[in-house]
Amino acid sequence: QGSVQLTGLVDVYAGSMKAPGDASRTAVLGSGGLTTSWFGFTGTEDLGGGLKAGFALTSFMRADTGAPGRFNGDPFFSRDANVSLSGGFGTVRLGRWMAPNFLPSVLANPLGDSFTFSPLIVHKNVGIRDPLRWAPTTPADTGWSNQIAYSTPDIGGFKANLQYQFGEQAGDNGKKNVGANFFYAGGPLLLTGYYERVQIGNPGQGAYLGTTRKDWMLGAAYDLQAAKPYLSYGQAEDEQLPGKARTLQVGVAVPLGAGKVLASWAKTDLTAGDVNRKTLTVGYDHHLSKRTDVYAMVMNDKITNLSTGNSVGLGIRHRF
Amino acid sequence: QGSVQLTGLVDVYAGSMKAPGDASRTAVLGSGGLTTSWFGFTGTEDLGGGLKAGFALTSFMRADTGAPGRFNGDPFFSRDANVSLSGGFGTVRLGRWMAPNFLPSVLANPLGDSFTFSPLIVHKNVGIRDPLRWAPTTPADTGWSNQIAYSTPDIGGFKANLQYQFGEQAGDNGKKNVGANFFYAGGPLLLTGYYERVQIGNPGQGAYLGTTRKDWMLGAAYDLQAAKPYLSYGQAEDEQLPGKARTLQVGVAVPLGAGKVLASWAKTDLTAGDVNRKTLTVGYDHHLSKRTDVYAMVMNDKITNLSTGNSVGLGIRHRF
Amino acid sequence: QGSVQLTGLVDVYAGSMKAPGDASRTAVLGSGGLTTSWFGFTGTEDLGGGLKAGFALTSFMRADTGAPGRFNGDPFFSRDANVSLSGGFGTVRLGRWMAPNFLPSVLANPLGDSFTFSPLIVHKNVGIRDPLRWAPTTPADTGWSNQIAYSTPDIGGFKANLQYQFGEQAGDNGKKNVGANFFYAGGPLLLTGYYERVQIGNPGQGAYLGTTRKDWMLGAAYDLQAAKPYLSYGQAEDEQLPGKARTLQVGVAVPLGAGKVLASWAKTDLTAGDVNRKTLTVGYDHHLSKRTDVYAMVMNDKITNLSTGNSVGLGIRHRF
């Protein structure tokens, strides 16, 4: 009956991976070298009088094995499951959607939302486990379930989201996640930032974390045509744990031929424990078309007292 | 190659919920305030000579968290997974499809298939657990797997379905589910009813219940234009348990502006144990378009010897 | 943005089944009498200069219960999850795709990819368990995850695939699956064959099998118009187990009316243990249209020292 878009992205790479502390390299065929693979259904309906209704049902998946979600236990529509009303007042959205931390982090580094090769995203969102060598600094996933989000209209290049996740804790309605982010686009300049205060885990039905975690970041990018530099700084803390995680990231994208040279360096200091992580990625992303690109990435990754990691990947990313 | 429809519905509400016996209220963002959210693929093919082939693959999901199914363990295509042949003789359908109880129950009350706010549907199909305070009176889900269903053609406004679910019990082919329902639409009058005899659980592969359950209901609605009253009465029993569950429901839908005031009251008597449940819902459903509506519902819910439940919800429902 | 195809097939049958060694018959409504039911999304993009990008995300499912996958634990996109680049050089594909054994086995017998009634496919790919009475002779599934596949262009009717599955075993990059297959189509003649050497289990993330398994098959078919005979012979072995499994299959398809009579007989000898299996299927597949057919199949199935199995099924298959 409506106009439904069936859309998505498949990104698969062949790589040789060694995380900090790994005893040996592993040859892999992996999903999501530059962007987490996904597919889904979206649509909007014009209700008249400037009003619009919309929905999004989108799923991350692992295109190397065909498994649904980003990891075992991820809900099927782990990327989006929401319905919205938009108008001159902005947009009100109900359901599962991006967390406040996600889009600012993606826009503030040249490797975007790469959970494999972006130093900023890897520090914030990807654990190294068995044994635990790195815990993500982001409080609770890059998507929130059970969410009401208000998005402002675009006001002279400025937009913001105010986000609230119901904790759904029987007898304790005070438990919740709250956060906000903003985006300013003015000519070549992009400014962005977010703040989160989190008590509920994600994804899934949501369990009380037993603590309160706070996280913020500010980021900027400036398009000089010959190069686009990126900068971000942020800080995360857990009220049950000593110290903070402070992350600085600098990066640059340099147009070259039908693609871009991408480089990004991030350093995270864990102030309690005298541990830091320094990660540098350099690569080239070559566009075969607007929808399809191939890429080669090299990442060097160091954590205090662990053997250095070095990973390389060669992949294809196709949007549909 | 064919003409596939990609279609569905996303319904999300913000609510404050208290079931009978709950110690406290819980603020929630929930899926399916008025209709269980779903999406799927359907299609038909004209075979010539009045014959048609068709299929349906449709999935319930929880649009608040992105989880598939109505609950953990629900099969992915929990709503429909079937193929059919239609002609002048009617339709023969093979696979997973609605149980006989479902559509008559939906049509005989003004709140339709709301598993959150329809008193009739809530009594029949929604348990209150931990500890067990209410067991659904419907014998085995609102959908049946492993089913052969025969649907009559429309004969002067009258239609019926004869339904058989294979038990697939090795060495005991006598175990099965059988049932039938009918619909008569004549001008402003709707009459409907069903009967089920159930030995196999649903959803999923189907396990023998260890008992035989029977359930029937008769329902009616009459469209007076200024108001549409609804009435239903039915009875359920389990041969292993004493007594019966008898459910009476009355309701009304009153057009008002671009929407309808909806009210429904149901009472179920559990004859063994001197327990009853009385539930009243009143609300307003306002259409922004044919495909999108917003609603506000209030439900009062009492079970003998338990504290009274009171729930309210405010939601958006969007069809695509 | 692109041109995505939403496509698939629903095949459901009613049957009375008795596998070798079963104590009794079971009446079932089953999925995939002739073809495993599936749905999915595929697309290609013309990149210019003879280059094409493509993707496939396709899912097997059980249309009798609505469950995803071919069995519990199968990944959601168990059929395909891959991205590819094609040109004059052929095609390079990354992700989950068919194993080398699959397509040659399908083309070398008249019952195609029927996991229910094709003697060849049943011997190679379908276990009889509880207790174990038959282990599939194919080393590791009909699809491989974590795969790089190179497909040659069509050279005078000849095509081949070279396939490599990363083992992703930390510290042991030598563990892997490798294989190849070929197809020659020249007028009425089809020749096909494959070889596999397998150390990694499928589907899923892939675990080391603890052994090396090898498998090969050669097959042919010749279209005489009045009848199309089929022939295949192959052999499988496991380096940890004594003996080999040798499978001979002969079959024929005879056009009759708007359909075909199909017959196939397969015999597998397990050389260690003096056990063999002999299976014969005869049936009729009647096309109502190019997209929709109905079928009736009878299968007789004998394994040394087990009671004989006899199964019949009547089904509908619909492509969309």
- The per-residue pLDDT for range C82-101, each reduced to its tens digit, is 999 999 999 999 999 999 99
Chain A stretch 70-109, residues whose beta carbon is closer than 8 A to a beta carbon of chain B? 75-85, 94-96
Kindly state the average pLDDT of the residues A166-178: 93
Taking only the tens of pLDDT, chain B with its 320 residues reads: 457 999 999 999 999 999 999 999 999 999 999 999 999 999 999 999 999 999 999 999 999 999 999 999 999 999 999 999 999 999 999 999 999 999 999 999 999 999 999 999 999 999 999 899 999 999 999 999 999 999 999 999 999 999 999 999 988 889 999 999 999 999 999 999 999 999 999 997 789 999 999 999 999 999 999 999 999 999 999 999 999 999 999 999 999 999 999 999 999 999 998 899 999 999 999 999 999 999 999 999 999 999 999 999 999 999 99
Distance CA C317, CA C295 (A): 8
- Binning pLDDT at 50, 70 and 90, where does residue A168 land? very high
Cα Rg, chain C, nearest whole Å:
20
Overall number of domains in chain A: 1
Chain B stretch 31-70, residues whose beta carbon is closer than 8 A to a beta carbon of chain A? 31, 39, 61-68
C35-60 pLDDT tens trace: 999 999 999 999 999 999 999 999 99
Distance CA A9, CA A30 (A): 14
CB-based burial label for A17 (10 Å; 0-12, 13-18, 19+): buried
Residue-level pLDDT at A305 = 96
In sequence order, what are the beta bridge partners of A67? A62
Q: Does C95 map to a domain?
A: yes
Best of B83, B148, B164, B177 to mutate (most C CBs within 10 Å, chain C): B83
3-class SS letters over chain B: CCCEEEEEEEEEEEEEECCCCCCCCEEEEEECCCCCCEEEEEEEEEEECCEEEEEEEEEEEECCCCEECCCCCCCCCCCEEEEEEEECCEEEEEEEEECCCHHHHHHCCCCCCCCCCCHHHHHHHCCECCCCCECCCCCCCCEEEEEEEEECCCECCEEEEEEEEECCCCCCCCCEEEEEEEEEEECCEEEEEEEEEEEECCCCCCCEEEEEEEEEEEEEEECCCCCEEEEEEEEEEECCCCCEEEEEEEEEEEEECCEEEEEEEEEEEECCCCEEEEEEEEEEEEECCCCEEEEEEEEEEEECCCCCEEEEEEEEEEEC
CB contact under 8 A, B63 and A41: no
Per-residue pLDDT at A2 exceeds 60 = no
Residue-level pLDDT at A1 = 41
Residue-level pLDDT at C1 = 41
Residue-level pLDDT at A3 = 79
CB contact under 8 A, C28 and B54: no
Residue-level pLDDT at A41 = 97
- Which contiguous run of DSSP H or E holds residue C122? helix C119-125
CB-based contact, B8 to chain A, within 8 Å: yes
Per-residue pLDDT at C66 exceeds 50 = yes
Q: How far is CA C259 from CA C5, C10, C119, C224, C290, in A?
A: 28, 19, 20, 16, 11
The rounded percent of chain C whose pLDDT value lies above 90 is: 96
Q: Does C99 map to a domain?
A: yes
CB contact under 8 A, B12 and A75: no
CB-based contact, A163 to chain B, within 8 Å: no
Residue-level pLDDT at C221 = 98
Q: Does C110 map to a domain?
A: yes
C292-310 pLDDT tens trace: 999 999 999 999 999 999 9
Q: Does C88 map to a domain?
A: yes
3-class SS letters over C8-52: EEEEEEEEEECCCCCCCCEEEEEECCCCCCEEEEEEEEEEECCEE
Residue-level pLDDT at C13 = 98
Residue-level pLDDT at A205 = 73
Residues of C in contact with B1 (CB under 8 A): 7, 291, 319-320
Q: Give yes or no for a contact between A318 and C47, defined as CB atoms under 8 angstroms apart.
A: no
Residues of B in contact with A41 (CB under 8 A): 6, 8, 39, 320
Residues of C in contact with B97 (CB under 8 A): none
A247-299 pLDDT tens trace: 999 999 999 999 999 999 999 999 998 899 999 999 999 999 999 999 999 99
C123 backbone dihedrals φ, ψ, rounded to 5° = -65, -40
Write out the residue range of the structural domain in which residue C168 sits.
41-277
SS3 helix, strand, coil % of chain C, rounded to 5? Answer: 5, 60, 35
Q: Give yes or no for a contact between B228 and B253, defined as CB atoms under 8 angstroms apart.
A: yes
Of C12, C22, C76, the CB nearest to B83: C12
What's the token pair of residue C133? 């009475």
CB contact under 8 A, B203 and C61: no
Buried b (16+ CB within 10 A) or exposed e, A117-126: bbbbbbbbbb
Q: Strand B143-151 vs strand B26-31: parallel, antiparallel, or unpaired?
A: unpaired
C241-288 pLDDT tens trace: 999 999 999 999 999 999 999 999 999 999 998 899 999 999 999 999
Of C6, C12, C66, the CB nearest to B4: C6
Closest of A69, A89, A71 to residue A79, by C-alpha: A69
In sequence order, what are the beta bridge partners of C149? C93, C163
Q: Does C7 map to a domain?
A: no
What's the token pair of residue A270? 């864990």
CB contact under 8 A, B94 and C14: yes
- One-letter amino acid at C281 equals T
Residue-level pLDDT at B280 = 98
Q: Does C291 map to a domain?
A: no
Residue-level pLDDT at A180 = 98
CATH code, domain carrying A10: 2.40.160.10
A54-105 pLDDT tens trace: 999 999 999 999 999 999 999 999 999 999 999 999 999 999 999 999 999 9
CB-based contact, A170 to chain B, within 8 Å: yes
Residue-level pLDDT at B254 = 98
Kindly state the average pLDDT of the residues A145-152: 98
